[in-house]
Amino acid sequence: MDRVSFSEGIPLNIPNSLTVLRILLVPVFVGLLVYEHYDQALLTLIIAAVTDGLDGAIARMANQQTRIGAYLDPLADKLLLMSSFLTLSILHMIPVWAVIMVVSRDLILLAGTLLARVTESSIDISPTILGKGTTLVQFTYITMVVLMTTGHVELQMIQPVLAVMATLTIASGTHYLYRGIMSLNNQGTPS
């Protein structure tokens, strides 16, 4: 396996490099939004989305899936999404309730994952189809809001996406919580 290590035990392969690039693009995207460089912000968001698609595809095709990559990839998504929602809310481009919903869901899921780690419970933290769909719709919503700032999308086109995003965010959050609680309950039941 052709991996180059930048630190003992942490593989630096192409998929992980793309994920790290996506993390590094977060402050760039936020800064471009704050300074009203919306075209460049949109380009940065598109690059981040492309790296998100490429890192997983390359990892699977080249058999370069790593444990660190399994943690970094969703972390990169969450950092980009939460930063985007918070920044766009501060700039009064999206409703505050949408930010509260998205950030609360992710913080609750993070707290549940940390609780499982601390209690040494084994729960499945792999993303579900519903979770992946939610992330896709959240990215779509953010992209459409940025497109609105450049004059390419009308507000009326964004409202249905906001409704779908809110529904999926609540549904996926509830599903992840249910799955985690069921997993913990099954561990407590004697065989």
d(C-alpha 98, C-alpha 55), whole Å: 28
User: Model pTM?
Assistant: 0.86
Question: What are the tokens at 51?
Answer: 């790296």
Confidence of residue 188 (pLDDT cuts 50, 70, 90): low
pLDDT of the residue at 181: 82
Q: What is the pLDDT of residues 97-141, one digit of tens each?
A: 999 999 999 898 888 878 877 877 777 767 889 998 999 999 999
* pLDDT greater than 80 at residue 12: no
* pLDDT greater than 50 at residue 2: no
Q: HEC profile for the chain? A: CCCEEEECCEEECHHHHHHHHHHHHHHHHHHHHHCCCHHHHHHHHHHHHHHHHHHHHHHHHCCCCCHHHHHHHHHHHHHHHHHHHHHHHHCCCCCHHHHHHHHHHHHHHHHHHHHHHHCCCCCCCCCCHHHHHHHHHHHHHHHHHHHHHCCCCCHHHHHHHHHHHHHHHHHHHHHHHHHHHHHHHHHHCCC
pLDDT of the residue at 8: 47
d(C-alpha 141, C-alpha 139), whole Å: 5
Q: What is the pLDDT of residues 16-70, one digit of tens each?
A: 999 999 999 999 999 999 999 999 999 999 999 999 889 988 988 988 888 888 8
pLDDT of the residue at 7: 43
* pLDDT greater than 60 at residue 1: no
- Residues 94 and 85 sit within 8 Å (Cβ to Cβ): yes
Q: What is the pLDDT of residues 148-180, one digit of tens each?
A: 998 889 989 999 999 999 999 999 999 988 888
